[in-house]
Amino acid sequence: MTIDKRLWLALVTLAELVDQVEDGPARPTAAARLALAICHEHSDGDREPFIDFWRQMLDPCENSGTPTIARYCRPTQLQIQLRRVLRAVGIEPNHKIEIALDQAARKSNARAA
């Protein structure tokens, strides 16, 4: 399967957020908005997965009990939302796709650091 380059870059941007939320909720950046808009453009039109991703990336997971649990909760819950976004754009999340996204996101995050 060939994925549109703009869509792939948008998905990598969302995967970067999954990688970044361990220490706290993500900031509501223009890059995140644009990535979600591009993904929505390639979707079936249902806005729910994108709205849920946005809300989850901002969630501090304060109700999770301890800071250690919150550090686990935030990326885990955001990864679930990323899988919903993948399905919405017609990509079934599987091991190969998730590893490719994770590797691209980690490279991008390493360059930004």
Please state the three-class secondary structure of the chain as a single string.
Answer: CCCCHHHHHHHHHHHHHHHHHHHCCCCCCHHHHHHHHHHHHCCCCCCHHHHHHHHHHHCCCHHHCCHHHHHHHHHHHHHHHHHHHHHHCCCCCCHHHHHHHHHHHHHHHHHHC
Q: In the prediction, which pLDDT does 32 show? A: 97
The confidence score (pLDDT) of residue 66 equals: 87
Question: Would you write out the chain's pLDDT as a tens digit for each of its 113 residues?
Answer: 688 999 999 999 999 999 999 999 999 999 999 999 999 999 999 999 999 999 999 998 888 788 899 899 999 999 999 999 999 999 999 999 999 999 999 887 677 65
pLDDT at 112 (0 to 100) = 67
Supply the pLDDT for residue 2. Answer: 80
What's residue 63's pLDDT?
82
pLDDT for the residue 1? 63
